[in-house]
Amino acid sequence: MAYCRFCDRELLEKHGVLYKDKLCTAVLDRYPNSRGHTLIIPNKHHKDILTTDDKTLAHMAIVAKKISKKIEKRLGAKGFKLLVDDGKAADQSVMHLHIHIIPAYKKTVNLNGKRHKQITEKEKNLLLRKLTK
């Protein structure tokens, strides 16, 4: 199999791991759309929703809920966009399924497709302290 960024455990550690269990891992997005932007990634390589088993998919949704609750409580998010870019035609950039949790603090979140600023080490460490445990 070709190199896959989300199968690269070392790289995921660099993102900042918020949560991990047998089926999936939650990490901070390195180019967040908003504060606490998180990715839920299955541990096993699954290209997209259509090729992912139901058990893993259902579990990822439950983990997304759990992380969203934490972000609401600890960062003060008022809402969330849960998003999957599924397939190249839908702008999937890493061909390993992932659910975006994009916290919303005001009325809207900017999802205009522009590159966002890379998260700083300081912000990453602050968010990890707030969102783990």
Which residue is closest to Zn ion by CB? 4
Nearest CA-CA partner of 52 in 80, 84, 28:
84
| Cα four-point dihedral sign 101, 121, 94, 66 | negative
Task: Please list the active-site residues.
Answer: 98
* Stretch 73-102: interaction string toward Zn ion, x if CB under 5 A: -----------------------x------
CA pair distance 44, 24, nearest whole angstrom: 8
The letter for the amino acid at 16 is: G
**7-36: contacts with Zn ion (CB under 5 A):** 7
Structure tokens that stand for 37 in this block: 């932007």
* Stretch 42-71: interaction string toward Zn ion, x if CB under 5 A: ---x--------------------------
Question: Site residues (CB under 5 A) for Zn ion?
Answer: 4, 6-7, 45, 96
